[in-house]
Amino acid sequence: MRRTLFISDLHLSATQPDITAAFFEFLDTQVTDEVDALYILGDFFEVWVGDDANEPLSDEVAARLKTISEHGIKVYFIHGNRDFLLGQKYAQRAGMTLLPEQTVINLYGTPTLLLHGDEMCTQDVEYQKFRKKSRGWWWPKLMLSMPLWYRRHVARNARIKSKMSQQNKRAEILDVEPSSVSETFTQHNVALMIHGHTHRPAIHSHGENTRIVLGDWYTQASYLVATEHCISLHYANEIKEFCLANQS
């Protein structure tokens, strides 16, 4: 049976080799000849300061993904809030296709919106200000023109500041905002949405619409499997299923 796979929020880092090992095991066991495509919905890496920051981890990940793409399995990537500077150079090395931050695909007959999801966390005003700046035309260009050591310094400080900021925010502020979710469904005229970012894996019902949230990989592999008739969300040693027959 043909399948499509979705993952998000692995936060790959040299300091957490267990997550890298889990990802490679996922590739070995789940990305088989029956898979049509693998979609990576952001925060694939813990931090990304530019395609010129060649490191053993990113090199090995690129090589593994390139092998998959050379076997005819499409690999797609949507930027997250940690790796929005990932560019075409690295994507080509990894055999990935970069997609717009909000992309509608035909998922076995069901129009489906894919995104990282951070743009729907509109109650976090402080973060949204940074997001608007960092996704603009000038800020990425300016940052990538800086020396690599400086970019790493900026990223390290930004991560420390982000952790401190999140400690003082209520849980609902860090989650998606209901009206933003509704507006996003309406904007793209779809009934199915898949995203990550919040690290709160679940299948949510929004009236006639369905929103599926992918899990992070801090404690175990979490992924979504879609076939012609069913979607199954794997996380915390559980599997939750959603029937596509209800979608038009």
pLDDT band at 157 (very low <50, low <70, confident <90, very high): confident
pLDDT band at 1 (very low <50, low <70, confident <90, very high): confident
- DSSP for 67-106 reads HHHHTT-EEEE---SSSTT--HHHHHHHTEEE--SEEEEE
Tell me the mean pLDDT in the region 204-232: 95
Nearest to 194 by CA among 212, 169, 172: 212
Tell me the mean pLDDT in the region 197-217: 95
Degrees (nearest 5) of the Cα angle 31, 39, 138?
145
List pLDDT tens digits, range 92-119: 999 999 999 999 999 999 999 999 999 9
Helices in the chain by DSSP H: which ranges? 17-30, 56-70, 88-94, 125-134, 138-144, 148-167, 178-188
List pLDDT tens digits, range 70-97: 999 999 999 999 999 999 999 999 999 9
pLDDT, the chain, mean: 93
On whether the pTM is more than 0.75, the answer is yes
Strand, coil or helix: what is 44? coil
Look-up: residue for tokens 């998959």? 68
Percent of the chain with pLDDT over 70: 96
pLDDT band at 169 (very low <50, low <70, confident <90, very high): low
Tell me the mean pLDDT in the region 182-188: 97
pLDDT confidence of residue 69: 97
Q: Are strands 223-226 and 230-235 parallel, antiparallel or unpaired?
A: antiparallel
List pLDDT tens digits, range 113-148: 999 999 999 999 988 999 999 998 899 999 999 999
Contacts of 227 (CB under 8 A, 6+ apart): 1, 2, 3, 4, 108
Nearest to 226 by CA among 237, 246, 242: 242
